[in-house]
Amino acid sequence: MDNHSSGLSAVQILKNLPHRFPMLLVDRVLEIEPGKRVVGIKNVSFNEPFFSGHFPGLPVMPGVLIIESMAQVAAIMMLALPNFRNQIPYLAGMDKVRFRKPVVPGDTLRIEAELVKIHRSIGRVTIIAKVEGELIAEAELMFALKNREASTGEEL
């Protein structure tokens, strides 16, 4: 990946993130500057498996999955850096998390993340999610990047 890319397709996302269905929650990356900023989208379909139980008759995307989608977009930005390419991203902390409006079937989440700081393999991003230009959620997320071989059973 170059220093500034216009985006990533769904196939390219699969090559970068270790997540798979039903936990892959990014459909496209619109803009990416590795280690600086990223813009991604999640198309929210009525066919999402979580809608059958959250909530019957009133489908709402769970807040934890909105955060997970945000974290995955941020992880794509970090994994695009050469020194982190074969790492596993772990969500290590959340601060200043706020949900403004519910996300429902038919919505397209536009997720925008900016790197605040990275030290060794621990980083912090500010991140927002919008639907049709309206702020839906915001957070500061902390993540840890670990080698794939050493990523089981270790403390973050």
Which CATH number belongs to the domain containing residue 130 in this structure?
3.10.129.10
Our count of domains for the chain comes to 1
Q: What is the structure's pLDDT at 154?
A: 53
In which residue are the tokens 């596993």 written? 88
Structural domain for 38, as ranges: 10-147
Q: What is the structure's pLDDT at 18?
A: 87
> Is 46 within a domain?
yes
> Is 67 within a domain?
yes
What are the CA-CA distances from residue 33 to residues 36, 37, 90, 130 (Å)? 5, 5, 20, 20
> Is 68 within a domain?
yes
pLDDT in tens, the chain (156 residues): 444 567 998 899 998 898 888 899 999 999 999 989 999 999 999 999 999 999 989 999 999 999 999 999 999 999 988 888 889 989 999 999 999 999 999 999 999 999 999 998 899 999 999 999 999 999 999 999 998 765 555 555
Known catalytic residue: 4? no
Biggest alpha carbon distance in the chain? 46
Q: What is the structure's pLDDT at 132?
A: 98
Q: What is the structure's pLDDT at 150?
A: 59
> Is 152 within a domain?
no
Structural contact between residues 128 and 137, judged by C-beta atoms closer than 8 angstroms: yes
> Is 104 within a domain?
yes
- Options 4, 19, 54, 119, the catalytic residue: 54
> Is 43 within a domain?
yes
